[in-house]
Chain A
Amino acid sequence: MKYALLIYENEAFYGTEKAGPKIEEIVGKHMVFAQELGARRIGGAGLKSTAATTTVRTAGNRKTVHDGPFAEAREQLGGFYLIDVANLDEAIELAKKVPVLQDGAIEIRPLLGE
């Protein structure tokens, strides 16, 4: 089955520019993790901060463009992996290994069409 592992952390921890020693540390860990995933990784990316986010909102038939993410939250989506594994338990095992430098959450979402 294919799953998205959505990584939520408080992005303030990494600074708005997402640069510097903390980012270097976490990127290094992600590279090691991606290697461990091997063929099970079918996609994924780290995301720039919500300061760089633009939202297109649909209300009725109107589309409006806004600055920022669609919802304010304590933790923000900071990146994701797309993986292909046998079942939820394997996805959970991998989600436990996704590197984070602080408290946060990894959401496991099956892809549609599975």
Chain B
Amino acid sequence: MNGVALDRVFRAASGRIIAALAARFRDLARAEDAFSESCLRAVRTWPAAGVPDDPAAWLYRVAERLMLDSLRRDRKQQPVAEETSLDPSPEDLVTDDARIIPDERLRLIFICCHPAVAAEARAALTLKLVCGLSVTEIARAFLLQEATLAQRLVRAKRKIADAGVPFELPSPDAWPERLDAVLSTLEIAYARAHEDAAGSGAHAGFSAEVLHLTKILTHLIPDDAAVTALAAQVRYAEARRPARLDADGFIVPLSAQDPALWRRDLIDDANRLLADAIRIAPSEPRTLQAQLQQVWCARQSLADPAPWPEVLRLYDRLLLTRDDPIVRINRAVAVAEIEGVDAALIELSRLESAGLEEFLPYHAVRADLLRRTGRHANASQAYARALQLDPPAAERRWLERKLAELTSILN
């Protein structure tokens, strides 16, 4: 097994093993250390002794013993035990690892996303502990300095230990509040991956991890509409990734994307999840948001009419439970197609929110609408404002092209 293959084994096992150890011994940092140490031992012993049949079970047993030793040393209640054998017993090696390693990942997710943990650290901590991403990878995804992120993670782990964040699952009556923090965390994590339309290198694995985590959640909490709807949502979004850039690296608007390029496997998967969410809670905001994705992904080719009427109907329903500027801006795009550009501009002008001036989608949508009504000077200003707000690379290029086209008309 080469280094890359070993790394894959470690990463696949890490969430389950760290979660199981942390839940049992109530110590995140020590569980993480024990797992790292067991990986180091694997790197040292496997090349010569051969890779065990069930590498995860081997890693778990070794980490478990390291953790016990470390706890024993710290407590100093007993004299330090004679060197315990760290090699798993023969029975360990023939047993199915799913039976050896209890699945405590849901608990770990709830711990990482506890409201007492700083909001900006939750997603990073979850990706680190539950998905086994490295600090370098997470720092790249969140556009942070490694040192800053590492410090944030240390602080979050210390807070969990010092403040007495429980290692039990919250009681069911506390779920609505707590589950929402978990889902928002995953949503933010995915949005980070999705912003980068090219999905070049750094984010490729990152979005895969969010797909994986949402899948785990649907297995662990099968009867929650918000959970299944979010899992569907990220799958629809990810399915369209191959069509999001044109050959020149410009972002392609959803309505102009070629459905033939979309990933059917992910769309099928998402359709199944969405059907569950609709059955459980059809009016839940996340269900409606997933449906908004679904009506687009139902398109088989660019010859099919764009589903604007359905999109507008869904936004109208969404407004009943989630009325915020983001929903209204997206709805305005559909209004422009159904009722006309002027009606959409009137909708936008009704928006009032302190953060709007700094909100990129607001200016991008407004610029496009103004351009279409022929108000080219105003549109130019709006494009310029959008460009000041630090758009991701592919979107920047697209906005720059639009602005350049207008400038040539105006001159």
Q: Which residues of A contact B (CB under 8 A)?
A: 1, 3, 86-92, 108, 110, 114
What residues of chain A lie closer than 8 Å to B114, measured between beta carbons? 88
Q: How many angstroms between the C-alpha atoms of A90 and B170 in the bound complex?
A: 10
Q: Given the known inter-chain contacts A88-B116, A89-B174, please indicate yes or no for A110 contacting B166, CB distance below 8 A.
A: no
Interface string of B114-139 (1 = CB under 8 A from A): 10100000000000000000000000
B164 at the interface (CB under 8 A from A): yes
What residues of chain A lie closer than 8 Å to B166, measured between beta carbons? 86-90
What residues of chain A lie closer than 8 Å to B162, measured between beta carbons? 110
What residues of chain B lie closer than 8 Å to A88, measured between beta carbons? 114, 116, 163-166
**Closest Cβ–Cβ distance, residue A55 to chain B (whole Å):** 27
Say whether chain A's binding surface is mostly helix, strand, loop, or mixed: mixed
Q: How many angstroms between the C-alpha atoms of A66 and B168 in the bound complex?
A: 47
A-B contact pairs, 9 of them (CB 8 A): A87-B165, A87-B168, A88-B114, A89-B165, A89-B170, A91-B164, A108-B163, A110-B163, A110-B164
The listed residue with most A CB atoms (<10 A of its CB), out of B114, B164, B165, B170, is B164
What residues of chain B lie closer than 8 Å to A108, measured between beta carbons? 163
**Closest Cβ–Cβ distance, residue B278 to chain A (whole Å):** 32
How many CB-defined contacts (below 8 Å) exist between A and B?
25
What residues of chain B lie closer than 8 Å to A1, measured between beta carbons? 164
What residues of chain A lie closer than 8 Å to B164, measured between beta carbons? 1, 3, 87-88, 91, 110, 114
**Closest Cβ–Cβ distance, residue A94 to chain B (whole Å):** 13
What residues of chain A lie closer than 8 Å to B174, measured between beta carbons? 89
Report, nearest first, the 10 A-B pairs whose CB atoms are least far apart: A87-B166, A1-B164, A88-B164, A87-B164, A89-B166, A88-B165, A88-B163, A110-B163, A110-B164, A88-B116
Extra inter-chain contacts (16) besides given A90-B166, A114-B164, CB under 8 Å:
A86-B166, A87-B164, A87-B165, A87-B166, A87-B168, A88-B114, A88-B163, A88-B165, A88-B166, A89-B165, A89-B166, A89-B174, A92-B116, A108-B163, A110-B163, A110-B164
What residues of chain A lie closer than 8 Å to B116, measured between beta carbons? 88, 92
Q: How many angstroms between the C-alpha atoms of A114 and B164 in the bound complex?
A: 9
B116 to chain A: closest residue by CB: A88
**Closest Cβ–Cβ distance, residue B180 to chain A (whole Å):** 15
**Closest Cβ–Cβ distance, residue B215 to chain A (whole Å):** 27
**Closest Cβ–Cβ distance, residue B387 to chain A (whole Å):** 40
Q: How many angstroms between the C-alpha atoms of A34 and B270 in the bound complex?
A: 51
Interface string of B164-195 (1 = CB under 8 A from A): 11101010001000000000000000000000
Q: How many angstroms between the C-alpha atoms of A92 and B178 in the bound complex?
A: 13
A3 to chain B: closest residue by CB: B164
Interface string of B141-170 (1 = CB under 8 A from A): 000000000000000000000111110101
**Closest Cβ–Cβ distance, residue B313 to chain A (whole Å):** 39
Q: How many angstroms between the C-alpha atoms of A1 and B164 in the bound complex?
A: 7
**Closest Cβ–Cβ distance, residue A95 to chain B (whole Å):** 11
Q: How many angstroms between the C-alpha atoms of A75 and B42 in the bound complex?
A: 56
A85 to chain B: closest residue by CB: B164
B163 to chain A: closest residue by CB: A88
Q: How many angstroms between the C-alpha atoms of A89 and B114 in the bound complex?
A: 9
B167 to chain A: closest residue by CB: A87
Q: How many angstroms between the C-alpha atoms of A108 and B114 in the bound complex?
A: 15
**Closest Cβ–Cβ distance, residue B113 to chain A (whole Å):** 13
Q: How many angstroms between the C-alpha atoms of A18 and B165 in the bound complex?
A: 36
Q: How many angstroms between the C-alpha atoms of A108 and B162 in the bound complex?
A: 12
**Closest Cβ–Cβ distance, residue B93 to chain A (whole Å):** 37
What residues of chain A lie closer than 8 Å to B170, measured between beta carbons? 89
**Closest Cβ–Cβ distance, residue A42 to chain B (whole Å):** 15
